[in-house]
Amino acid sequence: MRKIIVIVLLGLFYSTLVFALDGNEILKKVDRNLNPESFEMYRKLINIEPDGTKKEFVMFSVKKGKEKIASVFLSPASEKGRGTLRIGENMWLYIPNVGKPIRITSLQSVTGGVFNNSDIMRVDYNSEYNCEKIETTDKG
């Protein structure tokens, strides 16, 4: 009887270890759910400045694999035709009036708003952040 109790307790202990996720595993799951390997989508970005003014941007984005993503702005008219391309860590901006792609960084802002290029180009949370601590609280 004692052997059975010990085996059951050991089984429960190891099963909780298997199902426990650390913070970085949770970030990987978030990336997998929010950012699939390949997609095509339309999206609207709303830039709200600290003074309360709003500007809306509509864009079409395409992603293939983990390393390649391209977006083109559809509106407003001042941004229409402007495109961005990311291959790995390299990013470029194409402005129709300039006619030549310009290399950009992820911290710059294509539109001069509060969001930066990495916000537009869908950077992976797991590669950008490292979870050091997870706590369970009364609220979950």
The pLDDT of 46-71, averaged and rounded, is 87
Amino acid 114: pLDDT:
60
Question: Is it the case that residue 83 has pLDDT exceeding 60?
Answer: yes
Mean pLDDT of the chain: 76
Q: Provide the CATH number for the domain formed by 31-128 in this structure.
A: 2.50.20.10
Average pLDDT, stretch 56-80?
89
- Structure confidence at residue 42 as a pLDDT band (50, 70, 90): very high
List the domain boundaries for the chain. Answer: 31-128
pTM of the full predicted structure? 0.62
Task: Name the band, by pLDDT with cuts 50, 70 and 90, for residue 16.
Answer: very low
Judged against a pLDDT cut of 60, whether residue 123 lies above it is answered with no
Instruction: Tell me, letter by letter, the H, E, C secondary structure of the chain.
Output: CHHHHHHHHHHHHHHHHHHCCCHHHHHHHHHHHHCCCCEEEEEEEEEECCCCCEEEEEEEEEEECCCEEEEEEEECCCCCCCEEEEECCEEEEECCCCCCCEEECCCCCCCCCCCCHHHHCCCCHHHHCCCCCCCCCCCC
